[in-house]
Amino acid sequence: MIRPLHASRLEQAWTRSVFETLFPTCAGVDLERFLREHLAAMPAASGLGLRAAVAVVTVSPVFLLRRPALFSHLIATDRLRVLDAFATSDVYVFRSFFTLLKAIGAMACAADARKGGR
């Protein structure tokens, strides 16, 4: 079975900025390990979809905010504006990117979001 390649350090950093925006509780999570383990388990199409979603969100401020900056360089409120644009987009593939990032991000970061953890 085809497996996606390991995420590079740059991709890991981009993913962290997206996940921490979705779930501010994500700061202490060992995301490198999480991504390594999950990309190894995911089907090729889903793994590549996740990496594509991270890449597209990362460069999207250029188009969405008309600003020559990567997502990870934005302030928190602008990051949320970008993610909201994906979440509510009329283009299915962009909404799917948001859903995929939120689903995988939730697995990494949402378990302890409730008061006192689980």
Exactly one of 15, 16, 34, 54 binds another protein (CB under 8 A); that residue is 34
Exactly one of 73, 92, 94, 97 binds another protein (CB under 8 A); that residue is 92
Exactly one of 7, 14, 23, 53 binds another protein (CB under 8 A); that residue is 23
The alpha carbon of 88 is separated from its chain's Cα centroid by a whole number of angstroms, namely: 16
Separation in Å, CA 80 to CA 23, 24, 55, 84, 99: 11, 11, 16, 6, 14
Q: Which stretch binds another protein (CB under 8 A): 5-13, 59-67, 107-115?
A: 107-115
Task: Report the nearest approach of another protein to the CB of residue 45 (Å).
Answer: 6
- Asked if 116 and 69 count as a contact pair (C-beta separation under 8 A), the reply is no
Exactly one of 6, 27, 37, 73 binds another protein (CB under 8 A); that residue is 37
- Asked if 87 and 95 count as a contact pair (C-beta separation under 8 A), the reply is yes
Contacts with 23 (C-beta within 8 Å, 6 or more apart), sequence order: 105, 106, 108, 109, 110, 113
Site for another protein in 53-82 (CB under 8 A): 76, 80
Residue type for position 5: L
Q: List interacting residues with another protein (CB under 8 A).
A: 1-2, 21-25, 34, 37-38, 41-47, 50, 76, 80, 83-84, 87-88, 92, 95-96, 99, 102-104, 106-108, 110-111, 113-115, 118
